[in-house]
């Protein structure tokens, strides 16, 4: 255990799933990828902090949070969810992520932060009213053990909201196809399919809602959209025009007087 300069408690992160780094010709873990790519991901989120607001609001709304609720975000990235909690409610947010790059960003009141492995959450049994996980489970090798940990920290009547890429969807083709081809780290995600749902049930969850949610990521200009996507996904082998062509071909976007909207969709799995 160690304390980072911003007061975040660090448990030693376990190595996660591995991938192949085609530039250095070596295998790397996803923990290492996020240590390297995390800075770039966070720069994207700083460049366009509100681009994903529909996604964060979707997650928060699905949890029907009550005043005084304890909400855990796993993995939390840079703790972006805090900006979308209902301002009228007093919510205690616990942010957990295995990457120190993200843990350095966490600041604020009403937020407790842990740099920790997702397979070994430093949270007491039944301590949380709700857990949210946005685009964070597709690089995990041992998904059953993470889901068991989530079940352990949730109260028996607690609610879990997973927003994750659906297998076979256009976002799957964008990430495992276009991003994989244009990032030297590649991209191989294990997205929501029947084995994902079976893991949830085996961990003790009952799936109450299982729905593909389509919405947009919103930008003030085409340039911002291209730069956001390039940084967020670490597309070091693509220029602006390649990125726009990839988005246009696989996802679709439209620009008007009020900015640009890029199509995005995640599977919402709400479980109790």
Ligand X SMILES: C[S@@+](CC[C@H](N)C(=O)[O-])C[C@H]1O[C@@H](n2cnc3c(N)ncnc32)[C@H](O)[C@@H]1O
Instruction: Give the interface with ligand X as residue ranges (CB under 6 A).
Output: 16-17, 30-31, 34, 38, 75-77, 80, 97-99, 102, 134-136, 139-140
Least spacing, CB of residue 256 vs ligand X, in Å: 26
Q: Which is nearer to ligand X, 102 or 106 (CB)?
A: 102
Q: Which is nearer to ligand X, 80 or 178 (CB)?
A: 80
Long-range CB pairs of 249-258 (<8 Å, 24+ gap) are 250/170, 250/173, 250/174, 250/177, 250/178, 251/170, 251/171, 251/174, 253/225, 255/221, 255/222
Least spacing, CB of residue 34 vs ligand X, in Å: 4
Name the residue with the smallest CB distance to ligand X. 16
Give the 3-state secondary structure of residue 246. helix
Q: Which is nearer to ligand X, 9 or 257 (CB)?
A: 9
- C-alpha 42/C-alpha 99 separation (Å) is 12
Q: How many CB atoms lie within 10 A of CB 197?
A: 16
Q: Which is nearer to ligand X, 68 or 184 (CB)?
A: 184
Q: Which is nearer to ligand X, 95 or 247 (CB)?
A: 95
DSSP bridge partners of 254: 261
DSSP bridge partners of 72: 94, 131
Phi and psi at 244, nearest 5°, equal -60, -40
Least spacing, CB of residue 257 vs ligand X, in Å: 29
Least spacing, CB of residue 206 vs ligand X, in Å: 23
- C-alpha 204/C-alpha 158 separation (Å) is 12
Least spacing, CB of residue 86 vs ligand X, in Å: 18
């Amino acid at each position: 255990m160690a304390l980072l300069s911003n007061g975040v408690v660090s448990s030693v992160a376990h190595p996660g799933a591995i991938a192949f780094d085609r530039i250095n010709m070596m295998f790397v873990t996803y923990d290492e990828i996020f240590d390297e790519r995390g800075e770039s991901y966070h720069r994207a989120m700083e460049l366009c902090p509100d681009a994903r607001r529909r996604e964060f609001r979707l997650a928060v709304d699905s949890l029907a949070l009550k005043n005084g609720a304890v909400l855990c975000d796993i993995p939390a990235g840079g703790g972006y969810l805090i900006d979308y909690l209902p301002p009228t409610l007093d919510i205690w947010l616990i942010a957990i992520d295995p990457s120190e790059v993200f843990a350095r960003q966490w600041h604020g009141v009403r937020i407790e932060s842990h740099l920790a492995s997702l397979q070994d959450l430093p949270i007491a049994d039944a301590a949380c009213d709700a857990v949210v996980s946005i685009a964070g489970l597709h690089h995990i090798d041992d998904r059953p053990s993470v889901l068991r940990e989530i079940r352990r920290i949730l109260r028996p009547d607690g609610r879990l909201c997973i927003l994750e890429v659906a297998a076979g969807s256009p976002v799957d083709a964008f990430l495992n196809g276009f991003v994989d081809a244009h990032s030297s780290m590649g991209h191989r995600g294990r997205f929501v399919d029947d084995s994902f749902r079976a893991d949830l049930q085996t961990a003790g969850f009952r799936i109450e809602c299982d729905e593909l949610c389509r919405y947009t990521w919103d930008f003030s200009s085409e340039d911002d959209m291209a730069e956001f996507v390039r940084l967020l996904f670490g597309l070091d082998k693509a220029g602006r025009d390649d990125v726009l062509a990839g988005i246009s071909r696989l996802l679709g976007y439209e620009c008007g007087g009020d900015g640009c909207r890029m199509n995005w969709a995640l599977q919402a799995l709400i479980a109790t």
